[in-house]
Amino acid sequence: MKNILKTNGLLIGVATLVVFFDQLTKTLVRQHLTLGESWMPLKWLEPFARIVHWHNTGAAFGIFQNGNLVLKVLSMVIAIAILVYFQKVDRKDTLARVALSMQFGGALGNLADRFKLGHVTDFISIGTFPVFNVADANVTVGVALLVLAIILQERKATRSLEATSAAEVEKNGEQSKG
Protein backbone atom coordinates (compact mmCIF):
# COMPACT_ATOMS: atom_id res chain seq x y z
CA MET A 1 0.00 0.00 0.00
CA LYS A 2 2.84 2.37 0.91
CA ASN A 3 4.50 1.75 -2.46
CA ILE A 4 1.23 2.38 -4.32
CA LEU A 5 0.84 5.72 -2.56
CA LYS A 6 4.49 6.61 -3.20
CA THR A 7 4.19 5.77 -6.89
CA ASN A 8 0.71 7.24 -7.40
CA GLY A 9 0.48 9.99 -4.77
CA LEU A 10 0.70 12.78 -7.34
CA LEU A 11 -1.93 11.12 -9.54
CA ILE A 12 -4.29 10.57 -6.61
CA GLY A 13 -3.77 14.07 -5.20
CA VAL A 14 -4.16 16.03 -8.44
CA ALA A 15 -7.04 13.90 -9.72
CA THR A 16 -8.85 14.22 -6.38
CA LEU A 17 -8.54 18.02 -6.48
CA VAL A 18 -9.73 18.15 -10.09
CA VAL A 19 -12.76 15.93 -9.40
CA PHE A 20 -13.57 17.87 -6.20
CA PHE A 21 -13.54 21.30 -7.89
CA ASP A 22 -15.24 19.98 -11.01
CA GLN A 23 -18.11 18.43 -9.05
CA LEU A 24 -18.36 21.41 -6.67
CA THR A 25 -18.66 23.94 -9.49
CA LYS A 26 -21.14 21.80 -11.42
CA THR A 27 -23.28 21.35 -8.30
CA LEU A 28 -23.29 25.11 -7.67
CA VAL A 29 -24.36 25.77 -11.25
CA ARG A 30 -27.15 23.17 -11.08
CA GLN A 31 -28.37 24.58 -7.75
CA HIS A 32 -28.35 28.26 -8.71
CA LEU A 33 -29.11 28.40 -12.45
CA THR A 34 -31.92 26.81 -14.38
CA LEU A 35 -31.00 25.00 -17.58
CA GLY A 36 -30.04 27.60 -20.20
CA GLU A 37 -29.85 30.46 -17.68
CA SER A 38 -26.66 32.53 -17.64
CA TRP A 39 -24.99 34.77 -15.06
CA MET A 40 -22.14 37.25 -15.05
CA PRO A 41 -21.62 39.67 -12.15
CA LEU A 42 -19.38 41.93 -14.28
CA LYS A 43 -21.81 43.19 -16.91
CA TRP A 44 -19.03 44.68 -19.08
CA LEU A 45 -17.56 41.17 -19.43
CA GLU A 46 -20.87 39.45 -20.21
CA PRO A 47 -20.68 39.71 -24.02
CA PHE A 48 -17.41 37.75 -23.90
CA ALA A 49 -17.62 35.47 -20.85
CA ARG A 50 -20.40 34.17 -18.64
CA ILE A 51 -21.55 31.23 -16.56
CA VAL A 52 -24.35 29.31 -18.26
CA HIS A 53 -26.07 26.08 -17.19
CA TRP A 54 -25.84 23.62 -20.05
CA HIS A 55 -26.23 19.86 -20.52
CA ASN A 56 -23.96 17.96 -22.89
CA THR A 57 -24.94 14.43 -23.85
CA GLY A 58 -22.04 14.23 -26.28
CA ALA A 59 -18.32 14.81 -26.29
CA ALA A 60 -16.16 17.88 -26.76
CA PHE A 61 -17.51 20.59 -29.05
CA GLY A 62 -20.94 18.95 -29.03
CA ILE A 63 -19.96 15.95 -31.17
CA PHE A 64 -21.55 12.52 -30.62
CA GLN A 65 -24.71 13.94 -29.01
CA ASN A 66 -26.75 11.31 -27.18
CA GLY A 67 -23.75 8.96 -27.19
CA ASN A 68 -23.66 8.63 -23.40
CA LEU A 69 -23.16 4.84 -23.28
CA VAL A 70 -20.33 4.87 -25.82
CA LEU A 71 -18.74 7.86 -24.08
CA LYS A 72 -18.95 6.12 -20.68
CA VAL A 73 -17.09 3.12 -22.05
CA LEU A 74 -14.58 5.28 -23.94
CA SER A 75 -13.95 7.42 -20.84
CA MET A 76 -13.33 4.32 -18.73
CA VAL A 77 -10.91 2.91 -21.31
CA ILE A 78 -9.05 6.25 -21.45
CA ALA A 79 -8.90 6.48 -17.64
CA ILE A 80 -7.47 2.95 -17.44
CA ALA A 81 -4.96 3.73 -20.20
CA ILE A 82 -3.83 6.83 -18.28
CA LEU A 83 -3.42 4.74 -15.12
CA VAL A 84 -1.32 2.15 -16.95
CA TYR A 85 0.80 4.73 -18.77
CA PHE A 86 1.33 6.76 -15.58
CA GLN A 87 3.08 3.74 -14.02
CA LYS A 88 5.62 3.76 -16.88
CA VAL A 89 6.47 7.48 -16.68
CA ASP A 90 9.74 8.23 -14.89
CA ARG A 91 9.08 9.69 -11.43
CA LYS A 92 11.46 12.52 -12.28
CA ASP A 93 9.26 13.59 -15.21
CA THR A 94 6.99 15.69 -13.03
CA LEU A 95 5.48 17.67 -15.91
CA ALA A 96 4.26 14.54 -17.70
CA ARG A 97 2.97 13.06 -14.43
CA VAL A 98 1.04 16.25 -13.56
CA ALA A 99 -0.36 16.35 -17.11
CA LEU A 100 -1.59 12.76 -16.90
CA SER A 101 -3.03 13.40 -13.43
CA MET A 102 -5.00 16.38 -14.75
CA GLN A 103 -6.32 14.31 -17.64
CA PHE A 104 -7.25 11.46 -15.30
CA GLY A 105 -9.11 13.80 -12.94
CA GLY A 106 -10.93 15.43 -15.84
CA ALA A 107 -11.97 12.06 -17.24
CA LEU A 108 -13.26 10.95 -13.83
CA GLY A 109 -15.12 14.24 -13.26
CA ASN A 110 -17.08 13.97 -16.49
CA LEU A 111 -17.53 10.22 -16.04
CA ALA A 112 -19.16 10.87 -12.65
CA ASP A 113 -21.68 13.16 -14.37
CA ARG A 114 -22.41 10.62 -17.09
CA PHE A 115 -23.17 7.89 -14.52
CA LYS A 116 -25.01 10.15 -12.07
CA LEU A 117 -26.96 12.39 -14.46
CA GLY A 118 -26.81 10.81 -17.91
CA HIS A 119 -25.11 13.94 -19.26
CA VAL A 120 -22.23 16.29 -18.44
CA THR A 121 -22.94 19.69 -16.89
CA ASP A 122 -21.07 22.43 -18.79
CA PHE A 123 -21.08 26.04 -17.64
CA ILE A 124 -18.05 28.09 -18.75
CA SER A 125 -18.91 30.13 -21.82
CA ILE A 126 -16.20 32.25 -23.43
CA GLY A 127 -16.87 34.04 -26.71
CA THR A 128 -18.13 31.68 -29.37
CA PHE A 129 -16.13 28.74 -27.99
CA PRO A 130 -18.27 25.73 -26.98
CA VAL A 131 -19.41 25.71 -23.34
CA PHE A 132 -17.11 23.62 -21.13
CA ASN A 133 -16.38 22.81 -17.47
CA VAL A 134 -13.49 22.34 -15.01
CA ALA A 135 -12.96 18.69 -16.05
CA ASP A 136 -12.78 19.66 -19.75
CA ALA A 137 -10.30 22.43 -18.96
CA ASN A 138 -8.07 20.00 -17.05
CA VAL A 139 -8.13 17.45 -19.86
CA THR A 140 -7.21 20.14 -22.40
CA VAL A 141 -4.46 21.71 -20.30
CA GLY A 142 -3.23 18.22 -19.38
CA VAL A 143 -2.91 17.27 -23.06
CA ALA A 144 -1.02 20.50 -23.80
CA LEU A 145 1.33 19.92 -20.86
CA LEU A 146 1.92 16.32 -21.95
CA VAL A 147 2.85 17.48 -25.45
CA LEU A 148 5.22 20.03 -23.89
CA ALA A 149 6.73 17.33 -21.64
CA ILE A 150 7.33 15.07 -24.65
CA ILE A 151 8.95 17.91 -26.60
CA LEU A 152 11.21 18.76 -23.64
CA GLN A 153 12.17 15.10 -23.18
CA GLU A 154 13.01 14.79 -26.89
CA ARG A 155 15.18 17.93 -26.75
CA LYS A 156 16.95 16.62 -23.66
CA ALA A 157 17.61 13.28 -25.36
CA THR A 158 18.87 15.03 -28.51
CA ARG A 159 21.25 17.23 -26.49
CA SER A 160 22.50 14.20 -24.60
CA LEU A 161 23.10 12.32 -27.84
CA GLU A 162 24.87 15.32 -29.36
CA ALA A 163 27.08 15.68 -26.27
CA THR A 164 27.95 11.98 -26.39
CA SER A 165 28.75 12.20 -30.11
CA ALA A 166 30.91 15.29 -29.61
CA ALA A 167 32.82 13.57 -26.79
CA GLU A 168 33.44 10.53 -29.00
CA VAL A 169 34.68 12.71 -31.88
CA GLU A 170 37.01 14.54 -29.50
CA LYS A 171 38.26 11.26 -28.04
CA ASN A 172 38.85 9.78 -31.50
CA GLY A 173 40.67 12.95 -32.58
CA GLU A 174 43.01 12.72 -29.59
CA GLN A 175 43.69 9.03 -30.28
CA SER A 176 44.64 9.71 -33.91
CA LYS A 177 47.11 12.45 -32.78
CA GLY A 178 48.78 10.19 -30.19
Catalytic residue IDs: 122, 136
Whether 124 contacts 26, CB under 8 Å = no
Question: What type of residue sits at position 99?
Answer: A
Q: How many Å apart are CA 102 and CA 79, to the nearest integer?
A: 11
| C-beta of residue 72 within 8 angstroms of C-beta of residue 111 | yes
Closest CA to 52 of 104, 125, 101: 125
Write down the H helix ranges in 65-133.
Answer: 68-88, 94-117
For residue 126, what are the β-bridge partners? 49
Alpha carbon distance 24, 112 (integer Å): 12
CA 90, CA 156: separation in Å to the nearest integer? 14
Q: Rounded to whole angstroms, how far apart are CA atoms 150 and 137?
A: 20
